[in-house]
């Protein structure tokens, strides 16, 4: 006579085994298509770049002077030209005097500031490298290039969690009491990769932070500041104004760029900060260069005319990007078993997906073997180690929609298979 418990276990195992077989079949079938698709990086698609073709011809040969008469072809003008500073200032809602416009990369501005804090210091404090064991707060999942900068200089990363409203503020406030904690990475709007938008409450709490270290700085990477899909700007509060209101004017350095607005390879970046912080930035820059590429700044100013021009441009951009996100999201909905969860961002460049614990590495590996590359496992965590091995970053922007459909289907098959392998104890 049969044992009913054994029988039910056997049936359950059989069910898993059946599902696993089906999942493997589906995966192998898709793998056989021999795809070669890439969802690794937040790289704009060619259609997005085409929106900025006007940049090639908007600057005429006789048009090389700013309104205040500066010849943009020649040396000088460390702060950038007034025309482009004004556009950034309007978009960031600060006065132009609080903005320096620079070269083609906000990452360079961040690296420059970080490197300077390590090697030179700020607020009369010693360089971080000469203080013992400087640390940095890293909300995670986060941006791998931020973490790489910390690691490069040997600054210890302290991971804090990230919810839909931003970083775990209790953890941040507790860490900031330690004088060796020197700052924090923030991607406040459409965070990379979760797409979360720091709430107005979170922004306020960050602005009123009372860190033990005088040389503590928020690295406010506003990479997606105007990258919402909808027509309405999401209210978040202005970090520089909030910091000022909290008598904390020097707490934040704000970074932004037009990298994902025009041409990532030939764009304009900016830093906004308090007067004291800008003097500090300017002091470094004055040693580092005679001035930024003013012609490219003028080219961008001519192309956009003003901040409204940028916002109109971004609406065209979202008309191209939103369908790609919709494609990915509906395909995830359709193809993924219930074991995974994912973000549904209202802007930015990424979708963040969580597999069951312990499955991300395998899912990424399977996906890659079937011809679909997504961002490497662990990349969204400090030191490249995802403690629960579950987070995967998807970047929908670069592939064409048709490719995207197939890519996500393959990726989902890989995720499902990885989850079932785990369930079956393989």
Peptide bond into 141 cis (omega under 30): yes
| Residues 6+ away with beta carbon under 8 Å from 37 | 371, 372, 373, 399, 403, 404, 406, 407, 410
Q: Which is nearer to a copy of itself, 112 or 237 (CB)?
A: 112
Q: Which is nearer to a copy of itself, 135 or 362 (CB)?
A: 135
Beta strands at 269-272 and 99-101: parallel, antiparallel or unpaired: antiparallel
Beta strands in 23-75 (DSSP E): 37-39
Does 133 help bind a copy of itself (rule: CB under 8 A)?
Answer: no
Q: How far is the CB of 320 from a copy of itself (least distance, A)?
A: 14
Does 373 help bind a copy of itself (rule: CB under 8 A)?
Answer: no
> Quick check: 149 and 110 in contact, CB under 8 A?
yes
Q: How far is the CB of 169 from a copy of itself (least distance, A)?
A: 28
Q: Which is nearer to a copy of itself, 8 or 286 (CB)?
A: 286
Paired strand residues for 71? 65
Paired strand residues for 269? 257
Residue among 293, 326, 403, 423 that touches a copy of itself (CB under 8 A): 293
Q: Which is nearer to a copy of itself, 286 or 306 (CB)?
A: 286
Residue among 19, 35, 40, 49 that touches a copy of itself (CB under 8 A): 49
The span of 37-45, 163-171, 309-317, 328-336 binding a copy of itself (CB under 8 A) equals: 37-45
Q: How many CB atoms lie within 10 A of CB 287?
A: 9
**How far is the CA of 97 from the CAs of 3, 82, 84, 115, 293, in angstroms?**
80, 9, 12, 24, 19
**How far is the CA of 18 from the CAs of 10, 11, 275, 338, 421, in angstroms?**
12, 10, 65, 17, 12
Candidates 123, 142, 165, 85; CA nearest to 381 is 142
Candidates 235, 139, 244, 246; CA nearest to 189 is 235
Does 111 help bind a copy of itself (rule: CB under 8 A)?
Answer: yes
Q: How far is the CB of 76 from a copy of itself (least distance, A)?
A: 7
Residue among 118, 160, 196, 360 that touches a copy of itself (CB under 8 A): 118
Residue among 96, 139, 167, 292 that touches a copy of itself (CB under 8 A): 292
Q: Which is nearer to a copy of itself, 12 or 130 (CB)?
A: 130
- Which residues within the stretch 254-273 sit at the binding site for a copy of itself (CB under 8 A)? 259, 263-266
> Quick check: 252 and 281 in contact, CB under 8 A?
no
Q: Which is nearer to a copy of itself, 166 or 348 (CB)?
A: 348
Binding mask 55-94 for a copy of itself (x = CB under 8 A): -xx-xxx--x------xxxxxxx-----------------
Number of residues lying near a copy of itself (CB under 8 A): 57
| Residues 6+ away with beta carbon under 8 Å from 214 | 123, 124, 125
User: Helix, strand or coil for residue 426?
Assistant: coil
Does 339 help bind a copy of itself (rule: CB under 8 A)?
Answer: no
**Which residues of this protein are in contact with a copy of itself, per CB under 8 A?**
41, 43-44, 46, 49, 52-53, 56-57, 59-61, 64, 71-77, 103-105, 107-108, 111-112, 115-116, 118-120, 127, 129-130, 145, 148-149, 152-153, 259, 263-266, 284, 286-296
């Amino acid at each position: 006579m049969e044992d009913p418990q054994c029988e039910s276990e056997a049936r359950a195992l059989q069910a898993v085994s059946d599902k696993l077989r089906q999942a493997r079949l589906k995966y192998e079938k898709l793998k056989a298509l021999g795809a070669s698709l890439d969802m690794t990086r937040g790289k704009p698609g060619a259609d997005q770049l085409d929106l900025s073709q006007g940049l090639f011809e908007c600057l005429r040969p006789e048009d090389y002077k700013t309104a205040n008469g500066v010849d943009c072809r020649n040396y000088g003008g460390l702060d950038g030209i007034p025309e482009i500073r004004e556009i950034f200032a309007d978009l960031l809602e600060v006065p132009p005097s609080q903005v320096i416009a620079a070269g083609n990369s906000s990452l360079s501005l961040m690296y420059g500031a970080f490197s300077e804090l390590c090697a030179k210091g700020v607020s009369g404090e010693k360089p971080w490298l000469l203080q013992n064991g400087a640390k940095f707060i890293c909300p995670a999942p986060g941006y791998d290039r931020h973490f790489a900068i910390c690691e490069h200089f040997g600054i210890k990363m302290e991971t804090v969690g990230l919810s839909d409203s931003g970083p775990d503020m209790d953890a941040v406030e507790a860490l900031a009491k330690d004088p060796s904690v020197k700052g924090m990475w923030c991607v406040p709007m459409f965070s990379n990769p979760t797409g979360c938008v720091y709430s107005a409450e979170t922004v306020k709490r960050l602005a009123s932070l009372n860190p033990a270290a005088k040389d503590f700085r928020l690295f406010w990477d506003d990479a997606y500041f105007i990258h919402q899909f909808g027509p309405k700007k999401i209210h978040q509060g202005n970090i520089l104004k909030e910091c000022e209101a909290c008598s904390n004017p020097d707490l934040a350095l704000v970074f932004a760029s037009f990298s994902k607005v025009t041409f990532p390879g030939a764009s304009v970046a900016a830093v906004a900060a308090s007067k004291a912080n800008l003097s500090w930035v300017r002091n470094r820059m004055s040693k580092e260069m005679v001035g930024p590429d003013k012609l490219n700044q003028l080219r961008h100013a001519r192309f956009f005319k003003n901040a409204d021009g940028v916002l109109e441009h971004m609406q065209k951009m979202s008309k191209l990007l939103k369908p790609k996100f919709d494609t990915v999201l509906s395909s995830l909905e359709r193809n993924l078993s219930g074991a995974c969860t994912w973000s549904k961002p209202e802007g930015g460049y990424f979708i963040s997906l969580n597999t069951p614990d312990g499955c991300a590495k395998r899912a990424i590996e399977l996906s890659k073997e079937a011809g679909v590359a997504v961002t490497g496992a662990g990349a969204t965590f400090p030191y490249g180690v995802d403690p629960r091995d579950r987070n995967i970053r998807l970047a929908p922007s670069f592939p064409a929609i048709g490719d995207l459909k197939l890519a996500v289907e393959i990726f989902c098959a890989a995720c499902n298979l990885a989850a079932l392998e785990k369930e079956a104890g393989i």
